[in-house]
Each structure stands twice: as structure tokens, then as C-alpha cells.
């Protein structure tokens, strides 16, 4: 099974940049999308259905903002919308699909870069999210939590760790949270197989950052540790140019 996570920075904009041709070429089994920036009736379900995917989406109440989706070649047994906390679910940040004993979620963690209020919101979300996931993990032990975490974990995950030490997304408390999250029984599937630096999933639109590979790795396919031995391959697809992010993928098998 090949799973891709991708913050598309607006699914309608991505569609105009060749997203469907790319999707058919990559041919993943499951795609977790973040920042769809679309209401349910604006998701291109017809095109996804024609390409062989069931489509599930969870939009923010605010139009043109946030939102997550899951595309799957196999129909899930169950789909869960949100985490049951209104202030987060109003922003469309979590969507889970269950396939037998395997659960795959598309998650879009808040950014704190727009100001202090949103950074406080982000840190509260992180606390509430980890509590939710710990409870979910007891019920659904085989978890894949794919999405934009808006946090770089280690110095090798960011192009300039020194100058960005006080930037939202690389703050000590955010990085410590990610370490704690992994210690609760989760694996960063990309780092499981690839220890090299200079692999990023997001680049600023400023200063030609993408062409100079001055990026951040903030998108992850996190997996419960009991799935670790099922990881066959993983990677990042920086040549996909539909967004300021790029996709990252993992392949699992028996």
C-alpha cells in the first residue's frame, strides 16, 4: 500500500496546475490532503471518482481556509470527522478512515506564524491532539497519521536551524513536543529509512527558496511503532509543483 500526504495549498488551485495528471502517474492507494481551502461542494469529486478514488473531505467553516481530505482506492469501513473538540473541528483539521484494523488520518496542525494568538492556539492544539491520539491509539492500535505538522523536528529538517531557532515551526517547545509524540510509540516513516539532511517538504515563496532548496520538512507520515517492520520504502517528491509544499510518501506491506 502506497500512502501519500500532500498539503495542496488549495485543491482548486492545484487542479489548475496539473494535479490530476500527477495523481494518475503516482497512482497511490491513499492520498491525505491538507489545506484544501474548499467547501464540500467545491471538492472535485467527479474527477477523483473517474480516477478510481473514493473521496472524503472535512472542510473548515470559514470559506477558503484549512480543510482536509482523504482519497482512497478502497472504500473505508468507517470515516471519522474531527476529534470532537469544536474549536478545532470548526477549522477542519482531522479526518480518519478505517480499513479493517488499519486507520489512516489526514491531519493539518495549526501554524503559529501569523501571530502570538495563533501560536498559543497551536500549542493548545498540540496538547489536546496528543491526548486524543493516545486514547485513539488504544482503540485503533494500527495508526498512520499523515499530514502537515507545521513543525521541523531536528536541525537536519530545516535549511537554517540557527537563524530559525526563534521561528514558529522550529521553536524548542514545538520540537520537544514532536520528540515526546514519537516517544509515545510513533515512527517518522521518512527518517526511519533516510537519515540525510537537505530533504524538505515546504519552501517559502520568497527569495527563490525552492530553487535554492532552502526549505523545511514539516509534512510527515507518522506510524504507530507496531507498523515499523511493515515500512518498505519512503520518500519525498520535490518535483511536484502544485503547492508551496510537496508530497511525501510511504509504502507499507507484509
Catalytic machinery residues: 148
The answer to whether the beta carbons of residues 218 and 169 sit under 8 Å apart is: yes
CA dihedral of residues 125, 105, 12, 18 (deg, nearest 10): 130
DSSP-assigned letter for residue 85 = -
Q: How many CB atoms lie within 10 A of CB 99?
A: 17
Burial of 92 (C-beta count, 10 Å sphere; 0-12/13-18/19+): buried
Task: Provide the H-helix boundaries in 40-85.
Answer: 45-50
Task: Provide the H-helix boundaries in the chain.
Answer: 11-16, 19-26, 45-50, 86-89, 116-139, 172-183, 189-193
CA 176 vs. chain centroid, Å, equals 19
Amino acid at each position: 500500500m502506497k500512502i501519500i500526504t500532500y498539503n495542496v495549498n488549495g485543491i482548486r488551485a492545484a487542479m489548475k496546475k496539473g494535479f490530476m495528471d500527477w495523481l494518475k502517474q503516482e497512482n497511490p492507494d491513499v492520498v491525505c490532503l491538507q489545506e484544501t481551502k474548499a467547501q464540500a461542494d467545491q471538492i472535485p469529486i467527479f474527477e477523483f471518482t473517474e480516477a478510481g478514488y473514493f473521496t472524503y473531505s472535512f472542510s473548515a467553516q470559514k470559506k477558503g481556509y484549512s480543510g482536509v481530505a482523504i482519497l482512497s482506492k478502497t472504500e473505508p469501513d468507517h470515516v471519522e470527522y474531527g476529534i470532537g473538540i469544536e474549536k478545532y473541528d470548526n477549522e477542519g483539521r482531522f479526518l480518519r478512515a478505517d480499513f479493517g484494523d488499519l486507520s489512516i488520518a489526514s491531519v493539518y496542525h495549526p501554524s503559529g506564524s501569523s501571530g502570538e494568538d495563533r501560536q498559543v492556539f497551536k500549542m493548545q492544539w498540540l496538547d489536546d491532539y496528543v491526548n486524543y491520539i493516545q486514547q485513539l491509539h488504544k482503540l485503533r492500535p494500527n495508526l498512520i497519521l499523515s499530514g502537515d505538522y507545521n513543525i521541523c523536528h531536528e536541525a537536519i529538517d530545516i535549511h537554517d536551524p540557527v537563524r530559525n531557532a526563534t521561528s514558529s515551526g522550529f521553536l524548542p517547545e514545538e520540537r520537544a513536543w514532536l520528540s515526546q509524540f514519537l516517544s509515545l510509540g510513533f515512527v517518522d516513516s521518512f527518517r526511519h529509512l533516510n537519515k540525510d539532511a537537505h530533504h524538505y517538504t515546504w519552501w517559502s515563496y520568497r527569495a527563490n527558496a525552492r530553487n535554492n532548496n532552502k526549505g523545511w520538512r514539516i509534512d510527515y507520515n507518522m506510524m504507530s511503532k507496531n507498523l515499523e517492520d511493515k515500512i518498505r520504502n519512503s520518500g519525498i517528491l520535490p518535483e511536484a509543483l502544485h503547492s508551496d509544499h510537496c508530497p511525501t510518501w510511504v509504502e507499507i506491506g507484509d
